[in-house]
Amino acid sequence: MSSLPSLTRNPRVRVTDVEVLSSAWYVLRRTTFDYQHRDGRWTTEQRERRTTAATAPRSCSTTRRGRRCC
């Protein structure tokens, strides 16, 4: 498990692991997290996200095209 930044924006999501799968032309990360559904039950889920230098997260500000980066 790598060092995780503070990811406390949503109390129904608990990030448990972030893995770097590839870092060649882009960075591919797999995030494992626990998600609390509306009925109160928790499930463990995974998502993979690819970022390039142009789309890498900055400081959560608006990008040049006017879109949020995170």
For the chain, domain boundaries? 13-51
pTM of the model: 0.61
CA distances from 13 to 9, 59, 67 (A): 8, 20, 23
Q: Which of 68, 4, 69, 70 is nearest to 33 (CA)?
A: 4
- pLDDT digits (tens), the chain, 70 positions: 455 555 568 999 999 999 999 988 889 999 999 999 999 999 999 999 998 856 555 555 555 555 555 5
Q: Which of 52, 10, 15 is nearest to 30 (CA)?
A: 15
